[in-house]
Structure 1
Amino acid sequence: MSEPFSKPVVVIDNGSYNIKAGFACDNHPVSIFRTTVGRPKYLNGTYGRGYYDVYIGDEAIERSKDLDLCYPVRQGKIIHWDNMERIWHHIFYRELKVAPEDRSVILSCAPTTSWDDKVKCCEIFFETLNVPALCIKPQSILALFGTGLTTGMSVDLGRSLTEINPVYEGGSIAYANMQTNLAGDTVMQYITDSLAKRGYDFGEDTTDIVDSIMKQCLYSTLEATAPRKREDYTRTYTLPSGEVIDVSDEAFYGAEMYFQPDVVFGKSMPCLSLQEALATALAKCDNELQDELCESMVTHGGLVAGITGFNKRMVREVQALTGKNANVIGSPESYSVAWLGGATFAGMGESKKIWVNKKLFEEFGERIVRNRF
């Protein structure tokens, strides 16, 4: 085993939809693939009784007709540890092509990750993968680091989770964490149902087509309640067959549900609008911090970059609700902001003080995890 930091650190950003991995010396992940594991359907769950191929990431999605797919991360929480271990193993040996025993690792986690789950991560990385050192950091903190900040509001718009987490001087204000109970999966289901009502059935291609519509067509406008010219908000999408369909309603309401969920669904919904969740998170913080937090709101996650005008609309809604000056800091590569923050953190001299090496974990176990992470 090499010295913990003799070679570039590996940075892994776990996501419910995609996982990002690469080296801290780079400015972009080497590998981005679906957080998915697939096993042949003919096994009928009888795993381990004979040899069979296991497919990971995009390979699993491509063979989805013949595989049972498992998504080991749901709403930021690892729910299937064996499959998550397979994905991490795949990252080292297939994606990055490096030996884990030669590389220290920065691993992102959700702000609400439990101590037990952090300990479990340490057990896998130290005892199974045999890495020399590990650091586990919340995605909310890493997203701010990736934007050049240490204080602000992390606004994570993911596929299975929309989460707001205030961060002060590089530390998470955990008691002010908020979730909206509405995320990218909700948008995907809405668009799927809306197109189905209009008679569009794309069969096994539905997920890919709706996902493409979400990335290309969604938009937010400041004039959401005002009359608009038809040509200003017409959106079309070209199907793989070449047919062009009108997705104007889906493009508008798919983004609008973040700000007016009750209006979009036509009924009271058990979720918060984004601005309500942000205002509540701010109100839970000390008064003297609120202005600084509101002026540094960082949006990140796989969905936000595809919604034109989203950040401007968010500024207006937050200012109208809180009466405070608001500023949203976005990125055209918002899906990798947290990963970039991990790479940035690895280069900070002070960061080495909170890493856990294998010897420390073997000696102190859970105590050192609580102390450092």
Structure 2
Amino acid sequence: MTNFSKPVVVIDNGSFNLKAGFACDNHPVCIFRNTVGRPKYLQGTYGKTPYEVYVGDAAVQRIDDLDLNYPVYRGKIVHWDNMERVWHHVFYRELKAAPEDRAVLLSCAPTTTMKDKVKCCEIFFESLNSPGLCVKPQSVLSLFGSGCATGMSVDLGHDITGINPVYEGGSIEYANMETNMSAHHLSEYIKESLLQKDLNLAADIDKVVEELRTKYVYVTKNCAVTRQQYMKTYKLPSGEEVDVSEEVFMAGELYFQPELVLNKKVNCLSLPDAILTSSLKCDSDLQPELFDAIVVHGGMTVPGLCKRLSLELKLLLNRPVNIIESSEAYGVAWMGGAVFAGSRESQRVWVTQKQFEEHGERIVRNRF
């Protein structure tokens, strides 16, 4: 049994945003862009001269002067030195907590390899000196965060949309699916469409695209909407009002009809088809339970998406489904981590610093 004296730190490592806080809280303490920035003038000659490193939103604000690196790509950690710097920033700048006092529950992508989990242990135990670590897939945590142990996790991320079935708190990895259509593609579609309109956007284009995707994109229950319902205008930074009806309507449809919107053959699955395919890979006795809890989460959830998904799945499956959506979809996996870290079941799956020193990789394979 493992008992830590202070509340556990829960870190949800996203490709776009990182969320961190304490297991005793209902909400993350901090949410910031998962990025590290170094001055452009160094041009790769790092280490020769002293320089300031910026993490998170502070780096994004100085985007013109910095080279930005994103340590997590498609849910996988691709730059370990920068990831370590981000975790260091979480403890010392954001949470104001000493890592040697706090065990950590870390979320990972469902496809994370054992090698990467061992690497996480090395960083937390050897560099940050944490007393304990637990690595858990985001798909499993999102179900815990919604009060379920069996169901399907539908993670709408920045650069990946993942469908992951979970049975009694365990991820069914062989049935994982990706749609190859994510929020990044929605942004690209809006950007291309705006560039064709020949608007005077210049340096503001990325900011405009981001605002349209986060605040204007929506999904309707039925594609057959009247022109009146469909009209949307947007005020550009210059003060000019433009019609963005097509951009924000079609961007939402990319999740459901990618080939129709892009008007070409693409290597993408619609969201309902990906969920159906994933469920068909699972045991037929298990499928009804999976459809009773389809948890839609992630920072890129679009208004109206869950209602449309429910309708389309009912038509495909010829049976009712239960879609669980949250008003705080961005934080469902983090909240699940906070719930799990405080539960009795979690006691068996922690790796302590002492155990890692004694058994190394073997204990990691055993526990995670």
TM range (shorter): over 0.9
Deviation at 1:201, TM superposition (A): 4.5
Greater Cα offset, 193-202 or 118-127: 193-202
**Correspondence 1:245 to 2:242:** yes
Match of 2:288 in 1: 291
Structure 2: distance between partners of 1:97 and 1:4 = 22
What 5-or-longer segments of structure 2 have no aligned partner?
Answer: none
Structure 2 residue 220 is the aligned partner of structure 1 residue 221:
yes
> TM-score, normalized by length of structure 1?
0.96
**Runs of 5+ consecutive residues of structure 1 not aligned to the other structure:** none
1:112-127 alignment, distance < 5 Å: 112-127=111-126
Judging changes above 3 Å, is the alpha-carbon distance between structure 1 residues 201 and 332 closer, same or farther for their aligned structure 2 residues?
farther
Amino acid at match of 1:288: D
* Preserved CA contact (<8 Å) 1:294 1:324: no
After the TM superposition, which residues 128-143 of structure 1 pair with which residues of structure 2 at under 5 Å, given as runs? 128-143=127-142
Q: Distance in 1 between matches of 2:181 and 2:282?
A: 23
User: Offset at 1:294?
Assistant: 1.1
Corresponding residue of 2:259: 262
Instruction: Report SS of the residue matched to 2:105.
Output: strand
What is the SS of the residue equivalent to 1:123? helix
1:208 is paired with a residue of what secondary structure? helix
Structure 1 residue 4 displacement after superposition: 5.7
Asked if the contact 2:219–2:304 (Cα under 8 Å) also holds between the matched residues in 1, the reply is yes
Which of 323, 326, 332 pairs up with 2:321?
326
Percent identity, aligned pairs only, is 59
Q: Give 1:242 deviation, angstroms.
A: 3.4
**Alignment pair present for 1:365 and 2:363:** no
Q: Deviations over 1:235-294 (max 9, x none)?
A: 222333433322111111111011100000001101111111101000011111111111
The one-letter code of the counterpart of 1:104 is A
Distance 2:60 2:127 in 1: 27
Partner of 1:42: 41
Partner of 2:26: 27
Query: Does 2:10 correspond to 1:11?
Result: yes
Cα deviation 1:286-334 (Å, max 9, x = unaligned): 1111111112100011110xx2211010011112222232121111110
Q: Which amino acid in the other structure matches residue 75 of structure 2?
A: G
C-alpha distance in 2, partners of 1:324/1:181?
26
CA distance in 2, matches of 1:352, 1:207: 45
Larger CA deviation: 138-147 vs 314-323: 314-323
Alignment of 1:269-284 (within 5 A): 269-284=266-281
1:312-360 deviation digits (Å, cap 9, x = unpaired): 1001111222223212111111000000000000110121111000011
Aligned residue in 2 for 1:311: 306
Alignment partners' CA distance in 2, 1:66 and 1:200: 26
Counterpart AA for 1:211 = E
Determine the C-alpha separation between the residues in 1 that align with 2:344 and 2:327.
Answer: 28
Q: 2:231 aligns with which of 225, 229, 234?
A: 234
| Correspondence for 1:181 | 180
- Which range moved further: 322-331 or 85-94? 322-331
Q: Matches of 2:361 and 2:203 in 1, distance apart?
A: 45
The two structures have a TM-score, normalised by structure 2, of 0.98
2-structure distance, mates of 1:34, 1:229: 38
How large is the Cα RMSD of the aligned pairs? Answer: 1.1
Distance (Å, rounded) in 2 between the aligned partners of 1:144 and 1:312: 19
1:50-90 Cα offsets, whole Å, 9 max, x none, are 10000010010000000001011000001100000000000
Count of equivalent residues: 367
